[in-house]
Amino acid sequence: MLETNIASGMRAWERHDWATAYEELLPLLDAEESEPGHLEALAESAWWCGSLDDTIAARERAFKTYSAAGRNVDAAQSAIDLAEHHALRLQPSAARGWMARASRLLQDEPATPALGNLRRLEAVFAAGTENGLQEAIELSSQVEEIGRDTGDRDVEVLGLHDQGRFSIAAGDVGRGMALMEESMVSVLTGELGPRVTGRILCNMIDVSASMADYRRAAEWSDQAMRWCEEQGNASGFPGICRIRRSEMMRLRGAWSDAEAEATRAADELGDFGPYMAAAFNELGMIRLNLGDRDAADEAFRRAHALGSSPMPGMALLKLSDGHAEAASSMIESRLDGIEDLLTRAKLLPSAIEIALAAHMADPAERHAAELAELAERFDSDLLRTFATQGSGRIAGAEGRHVDAVALHQKVVDDLVAEGLPYETARARCDLAMALTASGSPEMGNLELDAAKDEFERLGARTDLARIADMSPLGTVPVTPTVRTMMFTDIVASTSLIGAIGDDAWADLIAWHDRTLRDIFVNYGGDEVNRTGDGFFATFESPDDAAGCAIEIQRTLRQHRKDTGFAPKVRIGIHAGPILEADGELVGQQVHLAARIGSAAAGDEILLSHEAAVELDDTFRVGDQYDVDAKGITEPVTVAPLDWM
């Protein structure tokens, strides 16, 4: 009976009927002895059907059989395959152990395709290390040469393909894309085996999408799905391909189809943890767009549990719930730990949006500059568009509304041309606010109406609610309110955290926040939000703000005397008209107040000229001087407030 099953299973394996082969060959795992070639066929079939446990079990038995027979090259190839499987399980130590075993088995053997596959895996591991991309490119060149010398087309083309993708990751887009597209010719002409074909297709889609080249990614995604469907009832590559296919559907506005595709991908990838995590991240983004916050949160948490970062989705979810500070902390922490340029490019547009929502101008400008640089490095039109969008949002936050209109109009035009309806609708909201603030409320209404129509078609409930909360732009324009603004900030907080540790820092920041909030209340201050390690608050008059600032500094000084330590805080105060729009305080005066706060030193209170001249004579103000403020054309006149 077993022999009949094996014969039937091997015939199915030869015609790539993976499901039948898997079913027929699975009893081999319970047999006392099995041919290693049959076990390899079982392993491959199990892999295609999404069963990584059975794949590993079959390969381990094949490895033992090859080793016992002294077939070192075959045993080494099994060890290399096992290393890949354990890497998929996020078990790098086990993966490296199998790689070391393969290397020892091949050390006295002539060059073989197995050696090429080992060098390729070494390249993949090198690419994930600091400054390892050049080593990965060099190893991939060796892989191509080994494949050519041994006559193994799969190995040769994989080496060529990997040189391309690692070159792109290193910023050499022209050379890298040319090599990847050359390798795609071998895919299209059917020269390669199924595993290598699937790898190249997946990598091509992934690299294109990472560069925001969604047209190219969509083209290859369609090609990949056609090829996957030709492979029969397989779950490995089809599940992986469905993730990118779902992303393309989401970007094109077919959210219902995208959700179905991502759900199916997650079901098919049960044994493939990192890829399953990517499927849940994609599900989270779809559900976030749909306004289903609970379902989005669950999807992002499942992705995180599977070992994948839920950024930027989780941070955007926090932002949509009104927690800009938490969102900023999350995405900034992720960026701090990421060196891969394509991964950073994917995160930066959201980081700019979140930083501005938290009134954190410096990181927003830093991220916009980096995104613009990466757009040029990867020669990506869409990344350029997102960088322009960031610049437009910064211009609006600084009160440069005419500049913001021009920038946002270009973004809308570019996104319409790209065929990205949701992103276009959001860009129209930015343009609407800029038009209204610059004195064209009727044009602002036109953009807002167009955005609303698109959000309704898509079912973007969160965005529709946000628009509903906005004032009718044609009848109630953005209005200025004269207030006195205060920005506070703990000086050198990063080094302070490193010195005292996370637990002590948490206690310190909790005391700091309670103390300052109590003092704000005493002087009639309104907390607008937290900004990094400080606050943005407003007051009725410069006197109220100055009195509050003095009490803050004196309280910190007394705490320092009583306990031996208190953080140094800098404070900036400015009086001027604030633009209030959609419940937010925005405009150049807010930006100016934040810049004055940044110019202050530790334990210092710095006043703008406008605030200083309004103070009561009981306050002592030092000599005025000029400082340069980023984003402000003219020097800003400031003066220190004596609080000792």
Of 410, 442, 469, which residue constitutes the final position of a domain? 469
Which residues, 6+ apart, have CB-to-CB distance to 75 below 8 Å?
63, 66, 67, 105
Indicate whether 37 belongs to any domain: yes
Asked if 461 and 485 sit in the same domain, the reply is: no
Which residues, 6+ apart, have CB-to-CB distance to 644 below 8 Å?
none
Q: Among candidates 321, 313, 398, 414, which has minimal Cα distance to 364?
A: 398
- What one-character DSSP code corresponds to residue 637? E
**In the predicted model, what is the mean pLDDT of residues 51-79?**
94
Asked if 73 and 20 sit in the same domain, the reply is: yes
Confidence band for 229, pLDDT divided at 50, 70 and 90: low
Indicate whether 84 belongs to any domain: yes
Of 107, 137, 171, which residue constitutes the final position of a domain? 107
Residue carrying structure tokens 């930066």: 348
Indicate whether 150 belongs to any domain: no
Asked if 26 and 98 sit in the same domain, the reply is: yes
Beta bridge partners of 487: 536, 572
The CATH number of residue 578's host domain is 3.30.70.1230
- Name the residue with higher pLDDT: 267 or 162: 162
The Cα–Cα gap between 126 and 322 comes to 41
pLDDT per residue as tens digits for the range 500-538: 777 777 888 888 999 999 999 999 999 988 877 889 999
Which residues, 6+ apart, have CB-to-CB distance to 17 below 8 Å?
232
Tokens of 337: 């730990």
Which residues, 6+ apart, have CB-to-CB distance to 80 below 8 Å?
98, 99, 102, 114, 117, 118, 121
Element (H, E) at 128: none
Which of 149-158, 451-460, 468-477, 543-552 bottoms out in mean pLDDT, i.e. has the lowest? 468-477
**What is the number of other CB atoms lying within 10 angstroms of the CB of residue 518?**
11
Asked if 463 and 597 sit in the same domain, the reply is: no
pLDDT of 1 strictly over 70: no
- The boundaries of the domain holding residue 429 are 318-469
Indicate whether 189 belongs to any domain: no
The CATH number of residue 360's host domain is 1.25.40.10
| Backbone φ and ψ of 412, nearest 5° | -60, -45
Asked if 430 and 533 sit in the same domain, the reply is: no
Asked if 458 and 496 sit in the same domain, the reply is: no
Asked if 516 and 612 sit in the same domain, the reply is: yes
Beta bridge partners of 579: 480, 586
pLDDT of 18 strictly over 60: yes
- Name the residue with higher pLDDT: 308 or 606: 606
Confidence band for 423, pLDDT divided at 50, 70 and 90: very high
Asked if 504 and 459 sit in the same domain, the reply is: no
**In the predicted model, what is the mean pLDDT of residues 260-283?**
84
Q: Among candidates 305, 308, 266, which has minimal Cα distance to 287?
A: 266
Do 280 and 300 form a contact (C-beta atoms < 8 A)?
Answer: yes
- Name the residue with higher pLDDT: 592 or 469: 592
Judged on CB neighbours under 10 Å (0-12, 13-18, 19+), 469 is exposed
Indicate whether 288 belongs to any domain: no
Asked if 426 and 483 sit in the same domain, the reply is: no
Indicate whether 440 belongs to any domain: yes
What is the pLDDT at residue 543? 95
Of 444, 469, 494, which residue constitutes the final position of a domain? 469
The Cα–Cα gap between 617 and 97 comes to 76
Q: What amino acid occupies position 273?
A: G
The Cα–Cα gap between 393 and 408 comes to 8
Indicate whether 132 belongs to any domain: no
Asked if 601 and 521 sit in the same domain, the reply is: yes
What is the pLDDT at residue 152? 96
What is the pLDDT at residue 476? 41
Indicate whether 8 belongs to any domain: yes
Asked if 486 and 621 sit in the same domain, the reply is: yes
Asked if 610 and 483 sit in the same domain, the reply is: yes
Q: What is the pTM of this model?
A: 0.67
> Considering its fold, how many domains does the chain have in total?
3
